[in-house]
Structure 1
Amino acid sequence: MSTAPLAPARADAPETPTVSPAKRFVATVGVQNISLIIAIALVVAVIGIQNPLFFTIANLRVIGTAVAIVGLLAVVQTIVIILGALDISVGSIAGLTSVTSAMLFTATSSALVGVVGAVAIGVVCGLVNGCIIVFGRVNPVIATLATLAAFKGVAQLISDGRAQGYTGADPFFVFLARGAVLGVPTLIWVLVIVAVVAHLVLRYTTIGRNIYAVGGNNIAARLAGININRYIIGVYMVTGAVAAIAGVLITARTGSGQPISGSEGLELQAITAAALGGAALKGGKGAIAGTILAVILLGVLTNGMTLLGVNTFWQNVAQGTLLVIAVVIQQLRSGERRIGIPG
């Protein structure tokens, strides 16, 4: 066996660059998430100085329960956007399933029947969206804009445009609306569970990697053997199911099925949260953690403006402005040529 000594290391060999803890932290958390955390801290500080009631436990619970429904829709909207699509009908699905859950509960006196029936309706609505996009070859924005009106119309037809049923005395619906586990409201637990499952699927499964692949480059994904149509239909069905859960939570919070009240405008809030959280509207990029931070920011901002007596119309202006800012930042970061600007 050879016992020749090892050659000495070259003096000019490149050294492994050391990464500072600060850079490692930024790389782990992400610039987008750090920006959202700073924004939340600033908004909390400004509102807290103006109104100390903001920091009460009761108000923090109000914020948490208020963002739960929007958060559910924002989580699945993020998945749809990563896929390279959009779902504008989620608010209408929530309204339709809210009415459905209340009416089924009234007819059967069973909360289980009401919840299962609502989720089934949500899945069917998602299937309809997916089939229109895949087999009708319709742009997702146009397709779900049409079903937004259609699902809302169905909800108004079956409810005659009025709130239906009464669930305020049922233990299960009461637990959903006002219950708590380990001191945390049930509504927040529902959001946490859905968000964690979505995060794990996107980050650690083949399904999640394929969703990113389809949104990033659908041609390359198709050549790689990914069944794009199956993923489109599947994601929209999951979106419909989660929107139905949001509809059940609306029923629980209001004590009755609401065809419009409580669900109208949720689609804009969900898209705004997903965009603020870093989901690229062209697809292929996004994360659940950023979306949740954006939902918290929107919830804190809305609650703070309410405490400070800001007109609700200005709250809508603020949400629209945030969406525009998020999209502009995405466009600038992408480095793509801006429309209308030569060069």
Structure 2
Amino acid sequence: MAKSSSGRIIDQQKIIFALAVVLCLVFAFTLPGFATASNALSLLQAVATIGVLGIGMAIVIIGRGIDLSQIAVLVMPPAWMMYQIQAGVPMAEAAAYAGLAAIALGVLNGWLVAYVEVPAIFATLATGTLMYGTMQYLAVSNDVIPLPKRLEGFIALVQGGTFGIPNIVLFLLLVALVCWLFLRFTVWGRYVYAIGDNPMAARATGVPSRPILVLQYVISALAAFAAGVVLSASVESVNTRLFNSTMIYDVILVVVLGGVGLGGGKGSVSNVLVGTILIGIMTNGMTILNLSIEVQSLIKAGILLAAIIADSMLNPRDELTSQQGDI
């Protein structure tokens, strides 16, 4: 049964990759400006942030959870970091404080889900709003925070390239490699799959389920924080209004569309990368077509709904999943 399920996920990944190739070819021949080096560079830079967030989200979803607080971590700790640097705090110290804030939220999410047994969808929705509101009130009062001049070297690094490849894309590939190694070759990664596949059986066989759940949310928070720092350098500012955007739905979209099962225990980093490529190509094409944000959101919402329906058919919920509240 597990082998069959895995086969279905691999097939879905291949189908999505084929669709991405076909869509890319169609846009290249029909949209002026799509098949240019500058547009390809813009496309890759645009999907890097979503890809990193998607990888962090995938680890949580594989472990039968979900993290709706990612966007709060994407914007608020980096914004606080920039405020501290502007105030004269050493860069390493400011980064450490902001990183600890992100880790603290990850630990809080994991504690609420694993030990208090609050459904993940509600716990992370509440903690994300809590972080955003608290940091807006206590530390970050502006909506847009420009990067301090002291970070010119870091900005140049992020906006630059290595052997013709944008460094922000290399950052995505590095995160993907680290998380792939974590899931594939570590005991903790195998525990994530075991918990996602059958939490009760995993606990009965001695898997430390609760600490691993906490670890999942910490990894997701660190991925979101790293993505936020790199994003801020790529655009030379932090826009906290992203918290109120639909970005979290884009993240879930690339994860589910690529083939990570919402029921837990199924999926890989490569699924996220394939989903990210397809959504990146589609969004870039819609932008060239000058479709409004509302129309783009409507199209992506329809695709997300179709992906969720497909996931429910390919990875049907079992009795245990329904008892867990479907994440």
Length-normalised TM-score, structure 1: 0.85
1:116 aligns with 2:96: yes
1:203 aligns with 2:184: yes
Counterpart among 216, 221, 226 of residue 207 in structure 2: 226
- The aligned counterpart of 1:307 is 288
Structure 2 distance, partners of 1:84, 1:29, is 16
- The aligned counterpart of 1:126 is 106
Structure 2 distance, partners of 1:216, 1:27, is 15
User: Structure 1 residues 142 and 180, CA, compared in 2 at 3 Å: closer, same or farther?
Assistant: same
Contact 1:103–1:257 under 8 Å retained in 2: no
- The aligned counterpart of 1:73 is 53
* Deviation for aligned residue 1:169: 6.0
* Deviation for aligned residue 1:125: 1.1
1:54 aligns with 2:34: yes
Query: What secondary structure is seen at the aligned counterpart in 2 of 1:299?
Result: helix
- The aligned counterpart of 1:330 is 311
Contact 1:152–1:260 under 8 Å retained in 2: no
Higher mean alpha-carbon deviation, 153-162 vs 57-66, is at 153-162
- The aligned counterpart of 2:239 is 258
Structure 2 distance, partners of 1:284, 1:232, is 13
Unaligned runs of 5+ in 1: 1-25, 338-343
Identity across aligned pairs (percent)?
26
1:186 aligns with 2:164: no
- The aligned counterpart of 1:136 is 116
Letter in 1 for 2:314: R
Counterpart among 64, 79, 103 of residue 84 in structure 1: 64
Q: Number of residue pairs matched?
A: 312
Higher mean alpha-carbon deviation, 116-125 vs 210-219, is at 116-125
Contact 2:23–2:282 under 8 Å retained in 1: yes
* Deviation for aligned residue 1:29: 9.9
Question: Residue deviations 1:157-202, cap 9 Å, x none?
Answer: 2222422343366233313441112221111111100101111111
User: Structure 1 residues 89 and 176, CA, compared in 2 at 3 Å: closer, same or farther?
Assistant: farther
* Deviation for aligned residue 1:93: 1.0
Two-structure CA RMSD over aligned residues (Å): 2.2
Structure 2 distance, partners of 1:80, 1:221, is 16
Q: Which structure has greater helix proportion?
A: 2
1:241 aligns with 2:241: no
Structure 2 distance, partners of 1:318, 1:28, is 25
Structure 1 distance, partners of 2:51, 2:316, is 30
Question: Residue deviations 1:245-278, cap 9 Å, x none?
Answer: 1111232123233222388332211111110111
Structure 1 runs (4+) greater than 6 angstroms displaced: 26-29
* Deviation for aligned residue 1:28: 12
Query: What secondary structure is seen at the aligned counterpart in 2 of 1:207?
Result: helix
Contact 1:91–1:265 under 8 Å retained in 2: no
Structure 2 distance, partners of 1:222, 1:139, is 18
User: Structure 1 residues 266 and 173, CA, compared in 2 at 3 Å: closer, same or farther?
Assistant: farther
Contact 1:103–1:165 under 8 Å retained in 2: no
Letter in 2 for 1:225: G
* Deviation for aligned residue 1:155: 3.6
Length-normalised TM-score, structure 2: 0.89
